[in-house]
Amino acid sequence: MSQESVLVDVKNVVKTYGPLRAVDDLTFQIKAGEIVGLLGPNGAGKSTTMKMLTCYLEPTQGSIKVAGIDVNENAVGVRQHIGYLPEHAPLYTDMRVNEYLDFAGRIRGLSSAKRKDRIDWAVKACGLEAKYKATIGTLSRGYRQRTGLAQAVLHDPDLLILDEPTSGLDPIQLIEIRKLILEIGKKKTVLFSTHIMQEVEAVCNRAIIINRGKLVADGAPSELKARAGTNQKVLARIRGAQADVEKQLKNLPDTSSVDVHPIPNGSWLECTIKLSESAAVNPMNTGEQVSKLCKDNSWDVQEIKIEALTLEDTFLKMTGHEKLK
């Protein structure tokens, strides 16, 4: 990665709270134009990392630079390059949308003419035309997020930092905000944290996974899945199987584990066969073996399919939470 293109440079960063090491020797870079998802279980250090990037917290050790500016040496200079939307948008609910954005522009030091141009652009970019003069307190959660995003991009920052931007949204609102992030990401660098794995696969060209304050993976979603292994599952829906079906499936070659549970309101069983991590494992072979086993035992088969590893599988595996699934 050429230094000219690096917008965010985090080197050996540590953040402690007394005996707690919230961030532990964290190093990564983000180059201009990337949309990066920051992933990790609760308590992994995501929000702490974002707060250090936005100069809300100082690193205990290490260095953080944004646009070449050190957060410890020139916090004001760093903030001029950053737009930030925390998980709970800091909105004044008694203000109208236009009043709030004008207020935010004044705080940012925008001139009257510049403020008008940027508000017009942000309102259009964030789809707020219909709510421009609505009181913020009357807005839905989705429109409040849009208002928060408009505030974050108002001063034309190089880097947009979003902490759980789709938290609490309904499916339609989630899709709308996801599209909005993609659109903004065409012109801005975006770093956002999320627990929704599908969101990272749909929006991000890169994912950073941290666990217990440490970096555990960094790369494109497809690359991370490839590192953890691909096509690790064979799914089968069968009926008429004996009580030892789980044991019989476990005895198949290349099988790592088997999960069998009944499908509600029916006599079918859903079987998930996880394969071992050997490079020689061919899931197609396992699928054929499951089919033969069903035929030999006269079990009815509704479906046998190979399921590719998802980013959620990768996340659980890399953070040591695979057993929870």
Q: What is the pLDDT of residue 88?
A: 82
pLDDT over 90 at 218, yes or no: yes
Structure confidence at residue 196 (pLDDT): 73
CB 257 within 8 A of CB 317: no
Q: What is the tens place of the pLDDT at every residue in 63-116?
A: 999 999 999 999 999 999 999 998 888 899 999 999 999 999 999 999 999 999
User: Given a cut of 80, is residue 6 above it in pLDDT?
Assistant: yes
Separation of alpha carbons 70 and 161, rounded Å = 17
Delimit the CATH 3.40.50.300 region(s) of the chain. 3-222
> Domain 231-307 carries which CATH code?
3.30.70.3100
**Strands 159-163, 82-85: pairing kind:** parallel
pLDDT of residue 323: 45
Residue ranges of the chain that CATH labels 3.30.70.3100: 231-307
- Flag whether pLDDT at 320 surpasses 70: no
Q: Which residues pair with 10 in a beta bridge?
A: 28, 64
The DSSP-derived string for 107-170 is: HTT--HHHHHHHHHHHHHHTT-GGGTTSBGGGS-HHHHHHHHHHHHHTT--SEEEEESTTTT--
Q: 118-154: per-residue pLDDT in tens?
A: 999 999 989 999 999 999 999 998 999 999 999 999 9
Instruction: Encode pLDDT of 163-215 as tens digits.
Output: 988 887 888 888 888 888 898 888 899 999 887 777 888 889 999 999 889 99
Q: What is the pLDDT of residue 56?
A: 93
The answer to whether the predicted template modeling score (pTM) of the entire model surpasses 0.85 is no
- Range in 32-41, 127-136, 299-308 with the lowest mean pLDDT: 299-308
> Given this model, what pLDDT does residue 222 score?
78
- For 187, the 3-state DSSP assignment is coil
Tell me the average pLDDT of the chain.
Answer: 88
Tell the burial category of 301 from Cβ atoms under 10 Å away from its Cβ (0-12, 13-18, 19+): middle
Closest alpha carbon to 38 in 220, 261, 207 = 207
| Tokens 């695979």, located at residue | 322
Q: What is the mean pLDDT of residues 41-59?
A: 92
More confident residue, 278 or 206: 206
| pLDDT at position 276 | 79
- Choosing among 3.40.50.1100, 3.40.1310.30, 3.20.19.10, 3.40.50.300, the CATH entry for 3-222 is 3.40.50.300
H helix or E strand, kind and range, residue 226: helix 221-228
pLDDT at 325: 43
For 168, the token pair is: 């609490």
pLDDT of residue 324: 39
Query: Of 227, 236, 235, 229, whose CA–CA distance to 309 is shortest?
Result: 229
CA dist 168 and 177 (Å) reads: 12
- Model confidence band, residue 228 (pLDDT cutoffs 50, 70, 90): low
Give the rounded percent of residues in the chain with a pLDDT score beyond 70. Answer: 90
Q: What 3-state class would DSSP assign to 17?
A: strand
What pairing do the DSSP bridges indicate for beta strands 255-262 and 159-163? unpaired
* Neighbour-count burial for 59-74, b at 16+ CB within 10 Å, e otherwise: beebebbbbebebeee
The DSSP letter of residue 5 is G
Please count the helices (runs of H) and the strands (runs of E) in the chain. 11, 14
